[in-house]
Chains A and B, each alone.
Chain A
Amino acid sequence: MKTTEDIAPGQTLSSVTDKISGIVLTRGTPLTWFGVMYVAVLLLALFLLAVSWLFYKGVGVWGIKIPVAWGFAITNFVWWIGIGHAGTLISAILLLLNQKWRNSINRFAEAMTLFAVACAGTFPLLHLGRPWLFYWLFPYPNTMNIQPQFRSPLVWDVFAVSTYATVSLLFWYLGLLPDLATFRDRAKSSIVYKVYGVLSLGWRGTSRQWMYHRTASLLLAGLATPLVLSVHTVVSFDFTVSILPGWHSTIFPPYFVAGAIYSGFAMVLVLAIPIRAVYGLNGLITERHLENSAKVMLATGLILAYAYVIEPFTAWYGGNEYEIYAFWNRAFGSYWWAFWLTMACNVVIPQALWLQSIRRNTIALFGISLAVLYGMWLERYVIIVTSLHRDFLPSSWGQFSGTFWDHATFYGTIGLFLFLFLLFIRLLPMMSIYEVRELVHETLRDSR
């Protein structure tokens, strides 16, 4: 039976090399790129403005106040870091599982991880109040004679997120080396030759280099797999280790990890669908890639839906009146709209992915992915705000709503993300050329 393929027929070693490196080296920049870049730069300017205003006035420019001191900043942090997780899943876990189809999407998924983590990292830092003292988070000998509290999940988070950012960067760069060497060897001008020559560190593709490269890739994949699960687990610890109703729950780690991968695959699709259309990469990012990503989304979405059901069930079954109230308040309190929108975006709409015709319809898939991204942002908003704004004592209750600057900072990081991502597709190989070559080689060999 003929099914959709990992790579379209008729590709050769030189055709894939031409196709992918041509995007950067020879073909002109498409107008769409400039259009999106324009929007990205505007948003980036908004981000710089928002951050400058924040530095000048302090965190009070955001809507955060007691009891809701986390507000947008932590919602955005959890949202961005979750998006990054799909990149690691594709590059590491699918490598270990020998899923060859990942070869043409892993590079930009890894780049997505890296930039999403960069966006995520800005929020806890900005939220510190005095961001320029961020280094106090790390243990180092200091004249104040104080040290971090290692029994606090917030300190674990510092280590988890910075390790995640470092490992993602190393993994990404290691994978780039052979392709940067290809760029060096295809360079037409001496400046391009020098830049990619330096970046490729003198890669020649010797059997020894390939041996170490493969071993290091597999080892890094093996290290990144438990790491990625640990990162969102530690993020969920920020919530579960507290005693707040609606947060203090053992279901959080798997629930957060599933949600992270869910939103991450949605972002992969939101990026892959336009890229493949604009750059004519249908032969490399095939229907199968989109369909598999949609299936992963559907599966993780169902895990998430299960968590949504089990949470209130546990509250009801546990019989704790604060816990029961927290869930009643989520669904019918003042943030009811956010709760039901979350349910619509994360549980109801993605059920359309059961249909193959929807999974193969790029426009529908793009729309569903946007809905999931929005739903996942709202989910974190609901978790954070509804649990905080109704404390144990009615005397400490309050309301939260994001200010203009809350929104500006958030949309600003979307600009930062797009800006970095557009530079990446313009300047670096957005697909792993050597891995696509392997795919071509295997396809040719098998067809003989």
Chain B
Amino acid sequence: MRPYGIVAEFATPGELVVAARAARNYGFSRMETYTPFLVPEVEEILRHRNWLPLVVLMAGATGTLTGYLLQTYIAVYDYPINVGGRPLHSLPSFIVIMFELTILFAALGAFFGTLIFNGLPAPYHPVGNARGFEAATQDRFFLCIEALDEKFDPEDTAGFLASLNATKVEHVAG
């Protein structure tokens, strides 16, 4: 089996942050951290681009427009009812459903956007093969440098990670 990368385990988020910064400075770019809760400092080091707010904005705008067009089409063209001579195109009474659909579409966008950007559902992931990796969702902090990285070398990279105060360093297969 071809190697997926090398996983290093750390006892605290502080040590993980130091290690991730060192790896970034060393020139590694294909790496990822696995932590039991959000560690904001890591995010600054790995610099992911976050598209979600834009997606949610577009989804919300789609919802507003859908709400308006749906109600206008039905109330004015498809099924017009004269209630006491009030205008068919009565925008004030359309506002509630426009608002609700804005929220609904935006929320669906936020939820499914998160899943899609994260590549979920993903029942299998190679890092799960590392021994003791269950701790990544409990109380340990992991850094994985992937084999696809240009600077990756099985010996050197493992040595580099071991020098960063890692409690454990392990090769994982893909």
Contacts and interface: CB of A to CB of B under 8 A. Distances in A.
Interface string A153-167: 101100110010011
B53 to A, nearest CB: 7
Among B50, B53, B93, B96, chain A packs the most CB atoms within 10 A around the CB of B96
A174 interface: yes
B121 interface: yes
B108 A170 contact: yes
A163 B120 contact: no
B134 A205 contact: no
Given A186-B134, A223-B103, A212 B118 contact: yes
Given A150-B71, A204-B136, A206-B32, A438 B113 contact: no
B149 interface: no
A223 B106 contact: yes
A201 B120 contact: yes
25 contacts: A13-B138, A14-B139, A147-B79, A166-B108, A185-B137, A202-B125, A204-B34, A204-B136, A205-B36, A206-B33, A206-B34, A206-B118, A207-B39, A208-B48, A209-B118, A210-B43, A212-B118, A213-B118, A215-B52, A216-B110, A219-B56, A223-B107, A226-B99, A230-B99, A434-B38
Interface of A: 12-14, 17, 139, 145-151, 153, 155-156, 159-160, 163, 166-167, 170-171, 173-174, 178, 181-182, 184-186, 197-198, 201-216, 219-220, 223-224, 226-227, 230, 234, 237, 434-435, 437-438, 441
A219 B111 CA distance: 10
Interface residues of B, number: 62
Interface in B102-148: 103-104, 106-108, 110-111, 113-115, 117-118, 120-125, 127-128, 133-139
B78 interface: yes
Given A147-B79, A182-B138, A155 B97 contact: yes
Given A150-B75, A219-B52, A160 B46 contact: no
- Which are the 3 A-B pairs with shortest beta-carbon distances? A185-B134, A202-B122, A201-B121
Residue among A178, A209, A434 having the largest count of chain B Cβ atoms under 10 Å? A209
B65 interface: no
B166 interface: no
B5 interface: no
A215 B74 contact: no
A434 B39 CA distance: 11
Given A201-B122, A205-B34, A207-B33, 16 more contacts: A13-B138, A139-B70, A139-B74, A148-B74, A151-B86, A155-B97, A173-B111, A182-B138, A185-B137, A197-B123, A204-B34, A208-B46, A212-B52, A212-B117, A219-B56, A223-B60
B102 to A, nearest CB: 9
A224 B120 CA distance: 24
Contacts of B167: none
B4 interface: no
Most buried by A among B36, B50, B135: B36
A171 B134 CA distance: 25
B42 interface: yes
Contacts, number: 188
Contacts of A201: 115, 120-122
B110 A220 contact: yes
A203 B34 CA distance: 10
Majority secondary structure, B binding face = helix
Nearest to B51: A212
A159 B63 CA distance: 12
A226 B133 CA distance: 40
A211 B113 CA distance: 12
Contact of B50 (A147, A211, A437): A211
Nearest to A241: B93
A150 B42 CA distance: 49
A13 B136 CA distance: 12
A201 B118 CA distance: 10
A170 B93 CA distance: 28
A160 B96 contact: yes
Contact of B111 (A174, A202, A204, A434): A174
B152 interface: no
B64 interface: no
B43 A166 contact: no
A212 B50 contact: yes
B83 interface: yes
A213 B38 contact: yes
Given A147-B74, A204-B127, A219-B110, A210 B139 contact: no
Contact of B107 (A170, A237, A434, A435): A170
A208 B42 CA distance: 10
Contacts of B39: 207, 210
B50 A215 contact: yes
Contact of B120 (A185, A202, A226, A234): A202
